[in-house]
Amino acid sequence: MFVIVFAGVLTLLALVGSIGVLRLYRSTLRVSQNMEDISGIVLNRVAKPLVNLPPLLDTVKDVFGFVKELRAKDQNEVEKDESE
């Protein structure tokens, strides 16, 4: 009789364990699918616009360089006028 009870308990534990593993597997699948969706959104909505950032920064740097040159020229002209 002990063997029958032991086999029944083991069968019950195996059944409960398999249900727990199945639930864990399903939730893990859901989490991985959500992560794929989130990474797709981040890639399409955030990363693609960032590709435009380096050319924009180069343009801003060129404009600041141009303004700096103009200010230096104006300052040199003012210094020449003051020294005369």
pLDDT tens, residue by residue, 29-73: 999 999 999 988 888 887 777 788 888 889 989 998 888 888 888
Domain range summary for the chain, segments of one domain joined by + = 1-51, 53-84
Report d(CA 5, CA 11) in Å as an integer: 10
- At residue 31, the pLDDT reads 93
